[in-house]
Structure 1
Amino acid sequence: SLRKLDESGIVVVLVSSNALPIVVGLKKYLGLRGPAIGETGALIYYDPGTIVSTTKHTAKQALLDALNEFKEYVYETWQNMFRYHDYALKIKPEHKRRDREIYEMIKEYLEKKYPYIKVGYSGYAIHLTPRDTGKGKALLHIMEKLGISPNEALGVGDSHMDWEFIKITKYKAAVSNADPELLEKVDIKLSKPSGEGVVELVEKILKKININKPQR
């Protein structure tokens, strides 16, 4: 479905907190030509192989500190070996029921000790991100470079952390299993979850494109 959007002339941008190689790999697999955002906005990939950093800072020291200070509760994700700016921690399964408490504890500790770092929790991982970057900043960089207005853009996500870039776009959407905080803010609430919700949205867009396409 996303490839059909791409083929119709719409720029499709993948926005993720995953390490950039993961996001670019998915982009290539899906056959998309648009840019890709990784590391919670810290890195942008443009074809045929240009990588842009949106920050000069790194959360590596904060990561090492957290792993030492909170080793009872968290471990680092395997993707960290491919990261440069934004780093991720996973809460150990035996402590998952206390995830919010552990997240708040780590957030308070790190943000006080490292003022240039912000700590976020997607529900899957705790992200340590340079404060001067983010998904919104990365998307604005792409829009300016490609000459796209926010009034022409649509953003869709499933995490409250996605609001940072979705709020920039004119059309704001969320899949049905998105965080309640995100669902409260968007205009378009899809009836299906995760990838199925994205397909639902794409089909609506393609239908509208076909309706508005001049008839020969």
Structure 2
Amino acid sequence: MLHEAIRSRLKSIRFVATDLDGTLTVDRQSHLIPPETIAALSLLREHDVKVVVVTASGFPIALGVSRYLGVYAVIAENGCVRARVEPQASSDILVECRESFRWLAREVARACSEYLRESWQNEYRRCDFALVPKGPVDQRSLVEKVKEIVSSLGLEDRVKVSTSGYALHLTPVECSKRGSLLKLLEEEGASPREVLGIGDSLLDVEFVSSCGVSVAVANADEELRKAVHIVTKAPSGYGFLEIAKAIVEARRAR
């Protein structure tokens, strides 16, 4: 049962900012997008709610998926690159980072070759680069190890090291999902209070918490579940449909 204050906020939602992997997919281990996600996106479009995909995935991958899903805009590579999906022109692609650390990803992969490999997406990424664990490991301890490497190279003030639970990320310090989302909203003449943010991982806490209504899917990381207004009953894409229906029901009650 939603608190009345949160139900009231749902009535004014104009945008839904959503993570991709683990939030729109079948679950956190799959890249498959269930019919429930497609139904949710269609429902939101029918009620003039614009969806923005906010993801750590490489920009070309995120843009391609977003086009087929029919969403309004995409923020990729942990906030490093953003664009409106349609109409699309190269001038509409905004790159937020000042420099690329592609070479650093290669260096870290060499230094941690026992534990990490470069993501196949790195070939297509612009600013944020991913390192994938080779097996079951404590990714947070790996983050500390990679931070030591970054610090030894004198880059601790220029590169952030984080984990999404799927991969480790090397991100320029000036970039963030939250910062890129706020810039997009300013361009749209929208307030963060008019946005519902939803995600599943530790990397989503900052941008989701900056939204008027914050949501975690049922199978999200504990840190995110503790930080939000709503935790869905269903996991991943099924939870996304649950919250889409809640938005529409609240708008109908206006």
Equivalent pairs counted in the alignment come to: 209
Structure 1 residue 100 corresponds to structure 2 residue 164: no
Structure 2: tracts of 5 or more residues without a match: 1-39
Q: SS of the residue aligned with 1:6? A: helix
Aligned CA RMSD, in angstroms, stands at: 1.3
Structure 1: tracts of 5 or more residues without a match: none
8 Å CA contact 1:54–1:137 kept in 2: the answer is no
Distance in 1 separating the partners of 2:99 and 2:67 = 28
- The one of 14, 21, 25 equivalent to 2:60 is 21
Q: Which residue of 2 aligns with 1:179?
A: 221
The alpha-carbon deviation at position 146 of structure 1 amounts to: 0.6
Per-residue CA shift, 1:154-204, capped at 9, x if unaligned? Answer: 101000110121121111110010000111110111111111111110011
Distance in 1 separating the partners of 2:44 and 2:159 = 36
Higher relative contact order (CA 8 A, sep 6+): 2
Alignment of structure 1 residues 89-168 onto 2, 5 Å: 89-93=131-135, 96-113=136-153, 114-115=155-156, 116-168=158-210
Distance in 1 separating the partners of 2:152 and 2:163 = 17
Distance in 1 separating the partners of 2:214 and 2:138 = 31
Distance in 1 separating the partners of 2:144 and 2:233 = 32
8 Å CA contact 1:111–1:118 kept in 2: the answer is no
Q: Which residue of 2 aligns with 1:73?
A: 115
Q: Which residue of 2 aligns with 1:209?
A: 251
The alpha-carbon deviation at position 102 of structure 1 amounts to: 2.2
Structure 1 residue 9 corresponds to structure 2 residue 51: no
Percent sequence identity over aligned pairs: 35
The alpha-carbon deviation at position 71 of structure 1 amounts to: 1.3
- The one of 73, 79, 82 equivalent to 1:44 is 82
> What's the TM-score, normalizing by structure 1?
0.92
Per-residue CA shift, 1:112-169, capped at 9, x if unaligned? Answer: 5212000001110000000011101110111011111011111010001101211211
Change (3 A) 1:12 1:42: same
Distance in 2 separating the partners of 1:91 and 1:62 = 16
Per-residue CA shift, 1:73-119, capped at 9, x if unaligned? Answer: 110111111101000000111xx234332222112321452120000
Runs of 4+ with >4 A deviation:
none
Q: SS of the residue aligned with 2:109? A: helix
